[in-house]
Structure 1
């Protein structure tokens, strides 16, 4: 009986391995096609379209040379803009969102439940509905075509607040009481005691917020006007025009744009799963 159970478990494990391997291959196919396109001549792209066939002998480094030699126009300025906006937004968003979620989880105050319900309602509202009033606000504040205009509406992300709140619910309140007895301030309790315990949630949200900010297209397209201020998604989109398409810079630039997200994930990956599972089941 035990041998039969072990055999069934082994078959299930093999089946799951095969299934998820197929899913991974399907998910990575667009990335492989993008990499191949980045090292293929533009003439081949026009003739054969996107393909994942790895004929290394036919690869051409002209596309990459075009970017590094300066023929890519403002590509590196767009890259820098995206790094500044995404990096700044990750830091500021994690700081404020974690404090709001922590307060909603571990403090009792008048209107606490109403604020939490309001956060949930905002999560359910598509950002496209809020873009027009937010754009009018940025215009009235004279912040259009600045980094702040891109970052300001996203500083306190409702989904991040909800995530931190769910994670903080599972933190031991006894530590807060002990710290108060020792004379620690409320800010000291958060920064010195609770924040270190929330590192997995910070790592998970850093990846998700970084990915969202890095790929954000619609809002930067609306509030950024000058070519020097464009982020990577907006800047790369300008390479496709009715008068000509710069596929060489487009595909090679898209491949290089993946690198910061990969580095971010590799840096925080050991906390990522722990942060997601803990935040998803507590409370």
Structure 2
């Protein structure tokens, strides 16, 4: 068997593997999408399944969602606002910290970086109670700020930007300083554009984490009007009544914002993750 034939077989097997993996990943979304067009009576009698009888499909669930689901769109709006602020704030502030740890030499730099590494090892769940007490003390319970502030800067994002910034050419910064550029100007005009892959990768990850965050908003938010989508959709299933039709259609629409974010930043995602993971 020639080398070309072996290479083609390996390539074919690799393609089949990725196709099979993609099928496994996308199959639940297919079931969710199809079930959103089924009447509630069929969902209760047959449960979630892959059957798609055209004569039973209906758009009643979507009509109900857009006409009666005022609470759902309030949850949608809350999630969008929280996700946008968290994502933008996280990548900007964390990039400042990571850039400083990578470029500047100052007393205590290694200690600070060691603390960042240590915080990466601390489970977030054990911080929920002290964070909640802080939110009560600050009067931020049941507010956007209470959801956003505790996690707007995370050790993982700082670590990623630090690793990425280490590989940036320091000579450019020195040249800019000689030309009279300020330190912030060096960052904003020269280094930040070179870090666009890192910004793209972290924007996707932070947006997904914020959009899907369930535990912390569940703890800090109280009123129905301030709920985010994960909490609101979970509240549709209770011992007192189940609205599976709205749950499935609403869950289908929740994929759209993250899909848009990924399509917008996807050209930076792979290069950002690859380079940021190996530099330093």
Interval containing the TM-score (normalised by the shorter chain): over 0.9
The secondary structure found in structure 2 opposite 1:53 is coil
Matched, 1:212 2:209: yes
1:64 is matched with which residue? 62
Confirm whether residue 138 of structure 1 aligns to residue 152 of structure 2. no
Per the TM alignment, residue 6 of structure 1 is displaced from its structure 2 partner at its CA by 1.1
Aligned residue in 2 for 1:114:
111
What does residue 275 of structure 2 align with? Answer: 278
Alignment of 1:1-283 (within 5 A): 4-69=2-67, 71-283=68-280
Instruction: Measure, in 2, the Cα distance between the counterparts of 1:232 and 1:80.
Output: 9
Shift in Å, 1:270: 0.8
Task: Please list every run of 5 or more consecutive structure 2 residues that lacks an aligned counterpart in the other structure.
Answer: none
Distance across 1 between alignment mates of 2:97 and 2:176: 20
Moved over 6 A (4+): none
SS at match of 2:2: helix
TM-aligned CA deviation for residue 93 of structure 1: 0.6
Tell me how far 1:55 sits from its aligned partner. 3.4
Contact 1:200 1:275 in 2 (8 A): yes
| Alignment TM-score, normalising by the size of structure 2 | 0.98
Any idea what the Cα deviations from partners look like across 1:152-174, whole Å, max 9, x if unmatched? 01111111111111111110000
1:58 partner SS: coil
C-alpha deviations, 1:191-231, integer Å up to 9, x for none? 11000000010000000000000000000000001110000
SS at match of 2:49: coil
Separation of aligned partners in 1, 2:52 and 2:15: 25
1:50 is displaced (CA, Å) by 1.2
Q: CA deviation at 1:58?
A: 2.5
Query: Residue 52 of structure 1: CA displacement?
Result: 2.5
Deviation per CA, 1:9-54: give whole Å up to 9, x if none: 1100000001111111011111111111111111111122112333
- Partner Cα distance (2:57, 2:98) in 1: 50
Q: Per the alignment, in what secondary structure is the counterpart of residue 139 of structure 2? A: coil
Distance in 2 of aligned mates of 1:268 and 1:15: 29
For residues 56 and 174 of structure 1, the distance between their equivalents in structure 2, rounded to whole angstroms, comes to: 65
Q: Alpha carbons of 1:124 and 1:56: their partners in 2 closer, same or farther (altered >3 Å)?
A: farther
* Conserved 8 A contact 1:104-1:116: yes
Structure 1: 5+ residue runs without aligned partners?
Answer: none
Q: Normalising to structure 1: TM-score of the pair? A: 0.97
TM-aligned CA deviation for residue 181 of structure 1:
0.3
Preserved CA contact (<8 Å) 1:102 1:168: yes
1:29–1:52 Cα contact (<8 Å) kept: no
CA deviation vs aligned residue, 1:90-145 (integer Å, no higher than 9, x gap): 11111100010111111111111111111111111111100000000000000000
